[in-house]
Structure 1
Amino acid sequence: MTRAITATGLRKSFGDKVVLDGIDLDVEQGTTFSLLGPNGAGKTTVVRILSTLIGADGGAVRVAGHDLAREPAAVRAAIGVTGQFSAVDNLLTGEENLLLMADLQHLGRAAGQRRATELLQLFDLTESAGKMASTYSGGMRRRLDLAMTLVGDPRIIFLDEPTTGLDPRSRRTMWQTIRRLVAGGVTIFLTTQYLDEADELADRIAVLDHGKVVAVGTAAELKRGIPGGHISLQFTDTARLDAAARVLGAVTRDDDALTLQVPSDGSVLALRTLLDRLDRASVEIHGLSVHTPDLDDVFFALTAQKENVR
């Protein structure tokens, strides 16, 4: 089996509101798959369906090789879920939270203690193991929450907005943890509105808008599909600016800044070709910069609810 998750024609409505309108998903094992979309696009609903928390109205889904509708118990045994809101019990210590999860997984006392100790070390929580979870920082709580998800050694982990509210250092620590899990063969299904997070972590990205998948691909593929890339050339005087404009043709010029913007996909070949044309015409440039679309541009171009992006 090379597919961790497949969904075809997935549908879900709440009353008259269609939340998922026949979406298809294909997630390879041992990768990070990110689902992007504005608030209300249906991201959390997808996670809730794939993790067996709610039923779908239509479509076919397989998770970890099991039919979601016919084998929900087998699916639950293969997955872990870390939601937007922490499942940590503030009245217990970090270690006690992990031991509670081990009991729920029926690991037995000795095996549960070993697993708790392993996870406390893995998530750098050993020194805080005996402290009440209520005293943990936001980053520590998220790490503990993810550690609790891993007690049952799931093959697929659903992370729904895992770094919301964390400071930059804690976010980076969480990213390192996610990369380590994927390197160990775990599949991560990540929903996020932080576009830099998807850019950093995701092997493939799907963009969800108004209940439909409007684009899917790697971050690089999605960026290449968005117009607006260009090479900016800077010159020392108007004479060189004019000469370059004559050589290059369709460009955008800024006479005050002595710059030209040349449409380009930002590839090495495009840059080399441009410089060769200027060199043959003996036009000297003072400096250049390459501008390519980022995931913000992708998001804005593909979704209608632009005001909801962070």
Structure 2
Amino acid sequence: MTNLAIAASELRKSYGDKVVLDGIDLAVPEGTIFSLLGPNGAGKTTAVKILSTLISPDGGEISVGGHDLSTGGQAVRAAIGVTGQFSAVDGLITGEENMLLMADLHHLSKQEGRRIAAELLARFDLADAAGKPASTYSGGMKRRLDIAMTLVGSPRIIFLDEPTTGLDPRSRHNMWQIIRQLVTDGVTVFLTTQYLEEADELADRIAVLNHGKIVAEGTAEQLKRLVPGGHVQLRFTDPEGYRHAGAALPDAHRDDEALALQVASDGSQRQLRAVLDRLDAAGIEADELTVHTPDLDDVFFALTSKPAGQSAGQPADQSVEVVR
């Protein structure tokens, strides 16, 4: 069994009559990237704050880094690092001074603190700007410094709460490389993000949070099979070939003007082969074939536009965990 860096069962949190987390379960293996998705106000940041000991849950059993959150809060804090939505960088002091401040907070000696600060500033391509006030840094530089500060204490688990919000596409891709390298080095990353492409690119496993519940969980590919809309599209230049193909595939949606057929598919190799076999048996060859599968945008909108408790549909892959 893979060891779990984070395990939560029946995690609950309310603010007055507002239920934010309604008994959610989480299981994050060590050395992986786990992404929690959800619309604004879904409870993503609340989950991060609970798991990082910033606020207390109303109920549930939680283990982080092998430590029970209810009795080992200090041990949990020693094992984790947190980069929140808003930068913790102090713009009035230099990048190096920000790093040394974190080293002091971790009770490192001056010599050790300077060594670690220099190594991390170089690793995050900030050495040349280390002596400049952080207020002069670009958004991407501040975010890199933020994560570098988080790493001063050598955490085994890092919570990244929307780490690329506001960054330009190049800075965002640079941040993705940094996150991937963290996992290569053995760190576990718990990521919340509003960028679905980011979760698709990075996460080993994704959970979708809506109305306080996990409504679906799985790999990106598994989640994409939760919603309808996948299809194989065949285009023809010869009207006769198009007509024969329509006869061979009677369930296909026809576009007579474009000489195109659209066959519903879950995107699997098995279904694609079935379409091609029927064309081969009829001696028909399409001039163009494309396969479309739903993306995470489709999944997100399907799952989060439903009222609480209503499913988005049956998964095509039964290994996907769907909470109804």
- Consecutive unaligned residues in structure 2, runs of 5 or more: 308-324
- Partner secondary structure for residue 150 of structure 1: helix
Q: Contact 1:22–1:59 (CA<8 Å) still a contact in 2? A: yes
Instruction: Judge which range, 294-303 or 260-269, deviates more.
Output: 260-269
What's the CA shift string for 1:41-93, capped at 9, x where partnerless?
00000000000000000110000000111111110010000000000000111
1:298 aligns with 2:299: yes
Match of 2:251 in 1: 250
Check if 1:55 corresponds to 2:23.
no
Q: Which moved more, 1:34-43 or 1:263-272?
A: 263-272
Which residue in the other structure is 1:76 paired with?
77
Gap change, CA 1:305 and 1:113, over 3 Å in 2: farther
**Which residue number in structure 2 is paired with residue 37 of structure 1?**
38
1:1-310 aligned within 5 A:
2-304=3-305
Indicate conservation of the 8 Å contact 1:102/1:151, yes or no.
yes
In 2, Cα distance between equivalents of 1:267 and 1:304: 26
Task: After TM superposition, give the deviation of residue 289 of structure 1 in Å.
Answer: 0.6
Q: Is the 8 A contact 1:229 1:265 kept in 2?
A: yes
CA distance in 1, matches of 2:147, 2:56: 24
- Structure 1 stretches (4+) deviating beyond 4 angstroms? none
- Contiguous gaps of at least 5 residues in structure 1: none
TM-score (norm 2): 0.93
Residue 274 (structure 1) shift: 1.5
- CA distance in 1: counterparts of 2:132 and 2:302, whole angstroms: 47
Q: CA deviation at 1:213?
A: 0.2
Give, in angstroms, the shift of residue 271 of structure 1. 2.0
Compute the displacement of 1:26 (Å): 0.3
Structure 2 residue identity aligned to 1:25 = L
CA distance in 1, matches of 2:201, 2:144: 19
Give the deviation of 1:305 after TM superposition. Answer: 7.5
Distance 1:305 1:149, change over 3 A: farther
Question: 2: distance between equivalents of 1:21 and 1:304?
Answer: 18
Q: Which amino acid is 1:166 matched to?
A: L
